[in-house]
Amino acid sequence: MDLFFNDIKYDTPEDIRCSLGYKIFFKSRFWFYFNFAKIVFKSRSYIKKGIYDNKKWAETSFDILKAIERCGGRFHIRGLDNLKKSDGPIVFISNHMSTLETVILPCLITLIHPVTFIVKKKLVKGPIFGPIMRSRDPILVGRKNPREDLITVLKRGKEILSQRRSIIVFPQSTRQIEFIPERFNTLGIKLAKNSGVKILPIALKTDFWGNGKLIRGFGKLDSKKAIYFEFGKPMNIQSNGKDEHKKIIEFIRFNLNKWKNK
The set of residues, in sequence order, having a beta carbon less than 8 Å from that of 183 and lying 6+ positions away, is 172, 173, 176
Position 1 confidence tier, pLDDT thresholds 50, 70, 90: very low
pTM over 0.75: yes
Task: Indicate if the pLDDT at residue 205 is higher than 70.
Answer: yes
Task: Indicate if the pLDDT at residue 239 is higher than 60.
Answer: yes
Using only C-alpha atoms, the chain has a radius of gyration, in whole angstroms, of: 18
Q: How far apart are CA 226 and CA 77, in angstroms?
A: 11
| pLDDT for residue 227 | 98
Task: Indicate if the pLDDT at residue 146 is higher than 90.
Answer: no
Cα distances (angstroms) measured from residue 51 to each of 54, 114, 118, 221: 9, 16, 23, 32
The set of residues, in sequence order, having a beta carbon less than 8 Å from that of 27 and lying 6+ positions away, is 18, 71, 72, 223
Segment 98-116 shows an average pLDDT of 96
Position 3 confidence tier, pLDDT thresholds 50, 70, 90: low
Position 214 confidence tier, pLDDT thresholds 50, 70, 90: low
Task: Indicate if the pLDDT at residue 90 is higher than 80.
Answer: yes
Q: How far apart are CA 134 and CA 17, in angstroms?
A: 35
Domains in the chain (CATH in brackets) are 10-259 (3.40.1130)
DSSP string, 36-57: HHHHHHHHHHHHHHT---HHHH
Closest CA to 107 of 2, 207, 218, 255: 2
Q: How far apart are CA 186 and CA 241, in angstroms?
A: 9
Position 4 confidence tier, pLDDT thresholds 50, 70, 90: confident
Position 247 confidence tier, pLDDT thresholds 50, 70, 90: very high
Q: How far apart are CA 146 and CA 149, in angstroms?
A: 5
Q: How far apart are CA 113 and CA 155, in angstroms?
A: 20
- The residue among 152 and 213 whose pLDDT is bigger is 152
The set of residues, in sequence order, having a beta carbon less than 8 Å from that of 248 and lying 6+ positions away, is 93, 184, 188, 189, 199, 201, 232
55-89 pLDDT, tens digit per residue, is 999 999 999 999 999 999 999 999 999 999 999 99
- Work out the mean pLDDT of the chain and round it to a whole number: 93
- The sheet that has 115-120: what strands, in order across it? 10-11, 75-78, 227-231, 198-205, 90-94, 166-169, 115-120, 139-141
Q: CB–CB of 259/228 below 8 Å?
A: yes
Q: How far apart are CA 57 and CA 106, in angstroms?
A: 7
